[in-house]
């Protein structure tokens, strides 16, 4: 940065913001024992890392041991760690699994357990289920609107029947690759734009 300043002159803070790499969290939405979400998250991260356009990291809500929202005094270290993690991120890719035509209770609880840490950021989705997890993501889009997260259009949907063996071993069809990259293109564009309004 100093070298650039020398040859180009001091840049204003907005220009500096756009030159920094974004931090994008790939959020695993399920905490179920035997869950398949880590396999899907690792696949998305692998595709994302090859792009080199942002810092991508897996964020596993199970690691934070979040209590059921507002049932405690809120002093659990996991709650602060969850807030700090979200604050460090510019955008999100949610790995969404369909539970009773919606998102998992664990993911809803994790969303409810934060507030302003979500605001003015962008999100994309990779979902799975018997109908690609589409119904869960439609619910999630509405929930994220309330916490001021902008949801992008391109949405890879994975079938439990054809993209998994026995519903457990993840073997994604080749065709999803283009959609994952299309979704990441949009998440990065909107995350960059929204970073400027967060100040």
Ligand X SMILES: Cc1cc2nc3c(=O)[nH]c(=O)nc-3n(C[C@H](O)[C@H](O)[C@H](O)COP(=O)(O)O)c2cc1C
Under the binding rule (CB under 6 A), the answer on residue 30 touching ligand X is yes
Separation CA 62–CA 166 (nearest Å): 24
Of the candidates 21, 44, 43, 56, which has an alpha carbon nearest to the alpha carbon of residue 154? Answer: 44
Under the binding rule (CB under 6 A), the answer on residue 192 touching ligand X is no
Separation CA 199–CA 196 (nearest Å): 6
| Residue number with CB closer to ligand X (83 or 139) | 139
Separation CA 16–CA 32 (nearest Å): 41
Shortest separation between residue 49's beta carbon and ligand X, angstroms: 21
- Helices marked H in the chain: 2-8, 13-19, 37-51, 77-87, 105-112, 134-146, 176-198
Q: Which stretch binds ligand X (CB under 6 A): 32-40, 60-68, 112-120, 151-159?
A: 32-40
Shortest separation between residue 107's beta carbon and ligand X, angstroms: 10
Q: Pick the binder of ligand X from 36, 48, 89, 93 (CB under 6 A).
A: 36
Under the binding rule (CB under 6 A), the answer on residue 32 touching ligand X is yes
Residue nearest to ligand X (CB): 129
Binders of ligand X among residues 133 to 152 (CB under 6 A) are none
Separation CA 26–CA 184 (nearest Å): 11
Under the binding rule (CB under 6 A), the answer on residue 21 touching ligand X is no
Binders of ligand X among residues 87 to 116 (CB under 6 A) are 97-101
Of the candidates 66, 12, 61, which has an alpha carbon nearest to the alpha carbon of residue 41? Answer: 61
Give the residues lining the site for ligand X (CB under 6 A): 30, 32, 35-37, 97-101, 129-131
């Amino acid at each position: 940065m100093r070298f650039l300043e020398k040859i180009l002159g001091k840049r204003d803070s907005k220009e500096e913001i756009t030159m920094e790499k974004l931090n994008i969290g790939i959020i695993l939405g399920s905490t179920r024992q035997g869950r398949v979400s880590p396999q899907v998250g690792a696949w998305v991260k692998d595709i994302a890392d090859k792009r080199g356009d942002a810092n991508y990291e897996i964020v596993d809500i199970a690691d934070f041991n979040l209590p059921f929202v507002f049932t405690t005094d809120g002093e659990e270290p996991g709650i602060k760690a969850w807030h700090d993690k979200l604050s460090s991120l510019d955008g999100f890719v949610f790995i969404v699994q369909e539970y009773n035509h919606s998102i998992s209770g664990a993911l809803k609880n994790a969303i409810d357990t934060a507030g302003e840490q979500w605001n003015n950021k962008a999100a994309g989705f990779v979902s799975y289920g018997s109908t690609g997890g589409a119904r869960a993501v439609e619910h999630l889009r509405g929930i994220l609107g309330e916490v001021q997260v902008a949801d992008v259009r391109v949405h890879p949907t994975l079938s439990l029947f054809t993209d998994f063996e026995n519903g457990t071993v993840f073997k994604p069809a080749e065709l999803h690759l283009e959609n994952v990259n299309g979704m990441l293109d949009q998440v990065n564009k909107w995350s960059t734009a929204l970073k400027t309004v967060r100040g």
